[in-house]
Every structure is written in structure tokens, then in C-alpha cells.
Amino acid sequence: MEVGECIATEAPKVPVTKERKIGTDLEKYIAKPYVARALQAPDVGNPDGTKGYPDNGMTVLQQHVAFFDQNNDGVVYPWETFKGIRDLGFDPFSSFVITFVINAAFSYRTLPGWVPNPLLPIYIERIHRDKHGSDSATYDTEGRFMPVNLENMFTKYALTKPDNLSLKELWQMTEGNRAAFDYLGWMASKLEWLLLYYVAKDKQGSVQRSC
């Protein structure tokens, strides 16, 4: 018998462990899927992450946020978030509201000191401090990427079509990830995944993993 062959991923007394399945053969596709990646975001179809995308020495979470840093100075001001959100296809009114929510929620923890800045800048250097609860754990607390947690998302919640999350399934995922009494985390996660749904959905209205 090989090492790990008889690991149980379902407990008979907890039916949810049967409903939300865990993949057991990830290592066939991704080297050491349990090791957090600082610079790349691999998945089973792209074991080396996105090819030709420069990391510029930034964590995967920093790279996510740097998309919005229009002048690449390491700080994301609201007008930069607004431009980025508009570029993703949102209308001006929604972009304004989304921008305000994001910069108001994420600015303070990233500032260099303790005095709040009314211009609501987000400093990419310290973006890991904005990690919140009730998330998917795809980013670790330092902003690295956890391949195993991204894959678990699909095995647990993409139940109608493999590798494909419908709006209902995405919603069920945010419900499943809820930590007790974590109101801020619940709202932040719902916002992040609803935004992602809007940006990434295909013609059938579901989110496919990258090809």
C-alpha cells in the first residue's frame, strides 16, 4: 500500500464531508500542492501558473491588487481602483460604489502609520494585512497562493458540472466558508465572489476554471 492511500476524507457522522468532496490525486498534476506559492498561481491545467506573466517580485495577492495600480507606484488610490473596475466592464455608477467600499475597507490596515488617510490609499506592500475571515483560504495570511485550497473549491462545490461553478454554487461556497459571527468577512467574501462572477462568467452563466 502506498503512503496516504487510506486517508479518509469523509466521516459517516458528518454528512457534509460526503457532500463536499476533497480531491486525493492532486500530486499527479501539481508538484507539492500543499506548498504555498509566493509568486505563482498554479492549478491542475496550468501546473506552472500563468505563463509569461511577470511577478515583479510580488506575492500572488500583491499581483491581484497591482492590476489596479495604474501608475505602478505601489499605492492604489480610489481613482485608480475606479479605472481598473471600469476596465473590467462595470458601469460608472457600480464602479463608484465598489471603489468606495474597497478603498474604505482596505486602506487603513495597509497604511505606514496609525493616522487614517482620508484619500483612502491602499499600500500594496502591506496588502496581506487585509486578509479577512470567511474566505476560501486560496491566499494564505502572507498573500501566497495555496493550490490545494483552489482545487478543493472545485471538488467541494462544482457539483453539477466538474470545473464549473454556477452562481448558485458560488453562493453556496461563500455560505460554506462562513466563520461564526464574522459579519465583515461574510460581506467581503460575498462581494469578492460576486464581482468575480460578473467578471469571469461565460455565456452559460457559470465560472469555468482557467484553460
Q: What is the smallest separation between the CB atom of 114 and Ca ion, expressed in angstroms?
A: 22
Q: Which of residues 110-129 bind ligand HEM (CB under 6 A)?
A: 122, 127
Q: What is the smallest separation between the CB atom of 67 and ligand HEM, expressed in angstroms?
A: 8
The number of residues in the chain equals 211
Q: Which does 157 bind (CB under 5 to 8 A by kind): ligand HEM, Ca ion, none?
A: none
168: three-class secondary structure by DSSP: helix
What are the backbone angles phi and psi of residue 19, rounded to the nearest 5°?
-65, -45
Is 178 a residue that touches ligand HEM (CB under 6 A)? no
Q: Which does 73 bind (CB under 5 to 8 A by kind): ligand HEM, Ca ion, none?
A: Ca ion
CA distance 49 to 41: 5
Is 87 a residue that touches Ca ion (CB under 5 A)? no
Site string for ligand HEM, 69-88 (x = CB under 6 A): -------x----x---x--x
Residue 123 or residue 145: which is nearer to Ca ion going by CB? 123
Q: Vertex 187, ends 185 and 188: CA angle to 5°? A: 65
Site string for ligand HEM, 20-59 (x = CB under 6 A): ----------------------------------------
- Which of 73, 87, 125, 175 is in the footprint of Ca ion by CB under 5 A? 73
145: three-class secondary structure by DSSP: strand
What is the DSSP annotation of 23-70? -S-GGGTSSSTTSPBSS---BTTBTT-STT---TT--HHHHHHHTT-T
Q: Which of residues 43-72 bind Ca ion (CB under 5 A)?
A: 69, 71
Q: State the helix-helix crossing angle for 167-176 and 183-200, rounded to 10 degrees.
A: 160
User: How many residues touch Ca ion (CB under 5 A)?
Assistant: 4
Q: Can you state the percent helix, strand and coil of the chain, rounding each to 5?
A: 40, 10, 50
What are the distances in angstroms from CA 96 to CA 4, 80, 81, 85? 50, 11, 9, 9
> What is the contact surface with ligand HEM in residues (CB under 6 A)?
61, 64-65, 68, 76, 81, 85, 88, 102, 106, 122, 127, 130-132, 135-136, 138-139, 189, 192-193, 195-196, 199
> What is the contact surface with Ca ion in residues (CB under 5 A)?
69, 71, 73, 75
